[in-house]
Amino acid sequence: MAAFFAILTAIPHFSGNFGIDLVNKIMIYAIFALSLELLVGGTGLVCFGQAAFFGIGAYIAVLLSPESASASLLWLLPAAVFAAGLYALVVGSLSLRTKGVYFIMVTLAFAQMAYFVVHDTPLGGGSDGIYLNVKPQLANLIRLDSPLAMYYFTLACLVLVFIFLAVLLRSRFGRALAGIRVNEQRMRATGFSTYPYKLAAFTLSGAIAGLAGFLFAVKDGFVNPEMMSWHLSGAVLVMIILGGLGHLRGALIGAFAFALLQEFFKAEAIFGDFAKHWHLGLGLSIIAAVALLPHGLVDLPAQLRSRLTGVLSGNAGSDGSAMPKG
């Protein structure tokens, strides 16, 4: 992971504006994927409304920014994260009283409610969305109107979120979440009140998704209701499944793989007119990856080692030199 983050640090020195913008967008999606990984991979809660928290963080960033002046990151960023976390607290306090498919549908319903609030009311500018006129800054030290500054700020947020979740999942709290994922009934039998643990994880997940939404809004300077649609919730769920559930690095790998595959199949220089149907190529690639790697892309090195070991063992045994006796 240290090498991975070092490569991300060096990319702006070898890439143009398009590459910087693309990797910046993927890093934001990676933060978004990490937020859902905490729920699905860490706690066993399949949430289909994660885009609502992402969109709330984005809309708060735009709605609270002055029209003709630059807002301070010191209060705008915490406000966006707090608003997303607060909505996650409300949604979680109600939806966590259900289980299974009912939990999935309730989280989807709350996300659709948030979607229609910004889509059908003047608050969010309707279907046209709203623009962020002046991007926030921090006392002239961090000016996010610069693509390079925005890139490194996003990278810093990604590293901090990854380290925070890695430490959290290794703590007593994280062990309790792992126990809930494996067998919630047994955790209750040992004396754990599982509801507060799940609610805390749900709220924290929503707050991290709000951070990703804030970064996305600042990067593009524009938000619209599609940021809260169920399509985005489904896409981020595919990211963590593609990368490998139960691994934080799997969420990173899945986000990068999903976004890069999307850009690859959209390339008209490679696919010509077929690039209009990029969803087909992306879908077939994901199906193939899940079929061949059921544990996600994070398991690819282990599978390669296993196959290589099998080949070497077969070659060694063919001349009898490594065959066991008896």
pLDDT of residue 326: 42
**Residues of the chain where predicted confidence (pLDDT) is lower than 70:** 310-326
**In terms of C-beta density within 10 A (0-12 exposed, 13-18 middle, 19 or more buried), how is residue 321 classed?**
exposed
pLDDT of residue 325: 45
Q: Of the candidates 216, 231, 205, 204, which has an alpha carbon nearest to the alpha carbon of residue 62?
A: 216
Structure token digits, residue 288:
């193939």
Structure token digits, residue 60:
């708060």
- The structure tokens 């913008």 sit at 21
Instruction: Report the DSSP beta bridge partners of residue 131.
Output: 222
**Distance, CA of 186 to CA of 318 (rounded, Å):** 49
**Distance, CA of 262 to CA of 282 (rounded, Å):** 6
CB atoms within 10 A of CB 305: 10
pLDDT of residue 313: 63
Structure token digits, residue 227:
């940021």
